[in-house]
Structure 1
Amino acid sequence: MNTPVWDDGNWSGLPSLEGDLEAEFCVVGLGGSGLAAIHELLRLGRNVVGLDAGPVAGGAAGRNGGFLLAGLAKFYHQSVAEHGRDFARRAYQATLEQIAQMKEETPQAIRLVGSLRIAASEEELQDCMAHLEALRADGFEAEPYEGPEGQGLLIPSDGVFNPLERCRILARQALQAGARLFENTPALSISGQMVQTPQGRVYCQKVLVAVDGRLEYVLPELAGRVRTARLQMLTTAPVSMRFSRPVYRRWGYDYWQQLPDGRIALGGMRDAGGEAEWTDRSETTEAIQQRLERLLDQMDIRAPITHRWAASVGYSANGLPIAEEVRPGVWAMGGYSGTGNVVGALLGREIAWVLHGSRMPGAVLVP
């Protein structure tokens, strides 16, 4: 059992690449960030080929918790302290606008219901209040919260979505707009002019590697700057409705949402796994899954487990995503530190403009 709850089994699949193609740009990775880049390049009138070693959104893009959170990987007050108020404010505003664009692009996959950050200790509650004050100081929506989930803060502008459904919709839209997309087509070698695959090649002007988990394996130049970790989740059978908003708890190490049909999608406990969770393997483990089950017990949720799954994601040392040219003509993006749904999509659009030879108006994340 390693299938995410998001997979309804209705994806018909795409062909693998056979033979040689020419394109202006080749995007390696058909997750949320890669597809966002492809869409932006299409809007700019460019010719694009997209490849993925597995299915569309077969990695973390289609196997995550389905949270749409504004801001960078670290909480807003931490981002202000570490990266400066101006950058943190502009990045937060840009991600708010990205969430709105995502809702417009795929309304059927997204629910903008807000999010809760819940404290598991007095220390964390004080940090929640610092988080709240920093958001309010810069004019962003947030309010203190106390309810059945606990105490913390409510961020009304956040939301949840079905990440796999969104990516599949984007892939279909890209195909209709003229992109050529191929599944089960790993990139064996990558240069700025050519991507070699098992049964063909893509000749191009530039390449974008849009991979989060295992990025340092695809591009060894990034080893030491980005590191792959495993995130694990499970889902229960439907229970009575208890959670109207997604919950981040215990500094974000535990997180869950209740789906519209009543199922609970719960993830986390990565910190409890220690060094073993710094791995590129995406199988679930008994140790972490048992901890997730105990958390369900603490929440007084008694329901059968229907899904268990894991995903590989990339973490950067400073919490900022990787966005740079690592070889002549080869750009890389990834290292979203567990929060790539919004930041990755925004970064994909910004890098598309760089590949186009310009700069996206209001760009924040690309140096």
Structure 2
Amino acid sequence: MHAKKTIKKPVITNDAIYTQTQNDTIDGDWNWVRNKKQTENPDPGNPANYYESTLSSWETFPALEGDRECELVVIGGGLLGASAALHLSESGVETVLLEKDRIGSAASGRNGGQLTPGLARWEAGSMIEYLSYEDAQRLWTFTSSESMSLIDEITSRYGLDIDRGRGHLTAAIHPGHLNSLVKEADARKFLGDESVSILGTYEIKDHITSDIYHGGALDMLGGQVHSLALARGMIYGFVANGGTVYEQSEVIRFEETENGVRVHTAQGTLLARRGVVVAVHSATHTLLEQDNSTTIPFYTYVGTTSPVAGGIRTLLPTGKAVYDTQFQIDYYRPVRNERLLFGGQGTGTRWEDEKTVDYLTSRLRTVFPEREDLELEFAWSGTTDLTLNGATDSRKLGKYAPIYVVHGWSGHGIAQTIRIGKAIRDDLLGVNDDFTMLTTIKHRSLIIGRQLAPIAIPIAKTLMELESKLSPGKMVSF
């Protein structure tokens, strides 16, 4: 192992500090602030998003140069890569992590920050439908209670502050949607999970100051988190355990050899003797040299408001994160300094900032029509991917050394990502077969699917929206 190093622990500030982002914009994602004159630089170019703006300045890591060897290479510095690297380092595996930009600069540091159980869009009902009772129960436990508790274990072990909130609501926008929520709560109870309570029309107003909902589900297993603080916190632990990080080191390709997997960047190579973890979104199909991907990319949007007059409790009296059940869901939650984080939409082509701000503001006014004072102060886009069956695509490849691949999160899965990182470590060391369990889920290839995303996603959304309008009581969410 490399000698242990001390780096700064990530610290969340009391409120956002306007500044320019330290991340690149390789994938085209943008950040927006209402008044750029408020930033430290009068013309900041690409300002930092809310998450980056609420963290104190942090470590930068050098780029990989030259040719080296190690036991294992992790490609990608998001939540999955950080978790796999952390757990490997805890077990004494000499691990090097390569990130093409900066730690948490992609989807892992740009998402809504809500913790929900399940495997991407697979919830308890889907697991019961496709698996035996024993397998469904095991997978549900893995992607729910085990995933949530692992985050708590990591933050406790390393003394991390990630603004961990507990409990979330699924709010029904149509009376008929309660049937689906009751059915899913029953499926979870059938698998041994009694964390969900069904709320009526009046009960949900104890949690959300809005008249547009007809009840909902309160899930005490879910919650919320500052996802960028979590990603950086795990890297803090990884480095403290002797791990090595290289930023600005995009992996161009890798090749299998009898001595391990040789990973190539523009400036150097790493021979990973015991294997590789591919923990990226958009580059997965390229690195695997596959023409037929199992995922389609799509784009999502999030914003945070100015401090809410009277305090966030005037909107969310119990401080719980919220999803709704409309076709194109809204999700929102309280964050520091009485701000509301609000997100939604999923599109096949990336919206511009002005269109996004107008859309999210209109949704804010729909949910809280009496609060015309609510306005966005930050907004940003994010890039993720989805699979056809809604479950994450997990694979174990390789002739001479294992190559672990996980992608297709469909915009869900912070907690499960952390749990799968641990499962990769366990599989490498032969501790259990948790990762094998994930690989048994079958996925269909989408022929030139990634290229068709700008067309396929709008068509799919149109059909789903039509179904939603024809059967308004049926819950159809995207």
Q: Give TM-score, length-normalised by structure 2.
A: 0.70
Instruction: Select between 87-96 and 184-193 the one with higher mean Cα deviation.
Output: 87-96
Could you tell me which runs of 5 or more consecutive residues in structure 2 were left unpaired when the two chains were aligned.
1-29, 32-47, 441-478
* Structure 1 contact 214–228 (Cα < 8 Å) conserved: no
Instruction: Select between 46-55 and 300-309 the one with higher mean Cα deviation.
Output: 300-309
- The answer to whether residue 329 in structure 2 is matched with residue 253 in structure 1 is yes
| 1:157 aligned partner | 221
Q: In structure 2, what is the Cα distance between the partners aligned to 1:183 and 1:79?
A: 38
RMSD of aligned residue pairs (Cα, Å): 2.2
Distance 1:238 1:87, change over 3 A: farther
Q: In structure 1, what is the Cα distance between the partners aligned to 2:225 and 2:285?
A: 28
Amino acid at match of 2:322: V
- The answer to whether residue 74 in structure 2 is matched with residue 74 in structure 1 is no
Paired residues in the alignment total: 358
Q: In structure 2, what is the Cα distance between the partners aligned to 1:110 and 1:191?
A: 40
- The answer to whether residue 379 in structure 2 is matched with residue 308 in structure 1 is yes
Deviation at 1:58, TM superposition (A): 0.8
Q: In structure 1, what is the Cα distance between the partners aligned to 2:88 and 2:279?
A: 14
Amino acid at match of 1:61: S
Please point out which of 194, 197, 204 is paired with 1:147: 204
- 1:209-229 CA distances to partner (integer Å, 9 max, x unpaired)? 111344334434274311211
Identity score, percent = 23
Amino acid at match of 1:308: A
| 1:273 aligned partner | none
* Structure 1 contact 336–343 (Cα < 8 Å) conserved: no
| 1:346 aligned partner | 419
- 1:110-149 CA distances to partner (integer Å, 9 max, x unpaired)? 4242111111223322211111221223331110123223
* Structure 2 contact 353–380 (Cα < 8 Å) conserved: no
Please point out which of 83, 89, 98 is paired with 2:147: 98
* Structure 1 contact 116–152 (Cα < 8 Å) conserved: yes
| 2:50 aligned partner | 5
Q: In structure 2, what is the Cα distance between the partners aligned to 1:9 and 1:232?
A: 24
| 1:204 aligned partner | 272
Deviation at 1:246, TM superposition (A): 0.6
Distance 1:47 1:227, change over 3 A: same
Indicate the SS of the match to 1:204. strand
Deviation at 1:264, TM superposition (A): 1.0
* Structure 2 contact 115–413 (Cα < 8 Å) conserved: no
Q: In structure 2, what is the Cα distance between the partners aligned to 1:354 and 1:104?
A: 20
| 2:394 aligned partner | 323
Amino acid at match of 1:76: A
* Structure 1 contact 351–366 (Cα < 8 Å) conserved: no
Deviation at 1:285, TM superposition (A): 4.5
| 2:238 aligned partner | 174
Distance 1:215 1:311, change over 3 A: farther
Deviation at 1:317, TM superposition (A): 1.5
Amino acid at match of 1:166: L
Q: In structure 1, what is the Cα distance between the partners aligned to 2:220 and 2:112?
A: 18
* Structure 1 contact 34–210 (Cα < 8 Å) conserved: yes
Q: Which has the larger radius of gyration?
A: 2
- 1:202-252 CA distances to partner (integer Å, 9 max, x unpaired)? 111211111134433443427431121111111101112222111111257
Could you tell me which runs of 5 or more consecutive residues in structure 1 were left unpaired when the two chains were aligned.
271-276
Q: In structure 1, what is the Cα distance between the partners aligned to 2:398 and 2:433?
A: 25
| 2:183 aligned partner | 130
Instruction: Select between 182-191 and 326-335 the one with higher mean Cα deviation.
Output: 326-335
Deviation at 1:261, TM superposition (A): 2.2
Distance 1:74 1:120, change over 3 A: farther
Q: Give TM-score, length-normalised by structure 1.
A: 0.90
After superposition, residues 187-226 of structure 1 pair within 5 angstroms as 187-192=251-256, 193-205=261-273, 206-221=275-290, 223-226=292-295
User: More relative contact order in 1 or in 2 (CA 8 Å, sep 6+)?
Assistant: 1
Instruction: Select between 94-103 and 56-65 the one with higher mean Cα deviation.
Output: 94-103
Amino acid at match of 1:52: E
Please point out which of 278, 284, 291 is paired with 2:348: 278
Deviation at 1:359, TM superposition (A): 4.1
Q: In structure 1, what is the Cα distance between the partners aligned to 2:428 and 2:433?
A: 14
Instruction: Select between 221-230 and 292-301 the one with higher mean Cα deviation.
Output: 221-230
Indicate the SS of the match to 1:233. strand
- 1:17-49 CA distances to partner (integer Å, 9 max, x unpaired)? 122221011100011111111122112221111
Deviation at 1:366, TM superposition (A): 4.2
Distance 1:37 1:29, change over 3 A: same
Indicate the SS of the match to 1:74. coil
* Structure 1 contact 37–348 (Cα < 8 Å) conserved: yes
Q: In structure 2, what is the Cα distance between the partners aligned to 1:4 and 1:131?
A: 35
Please point out which of 48, 64, 86 is paired with 2:134: 86
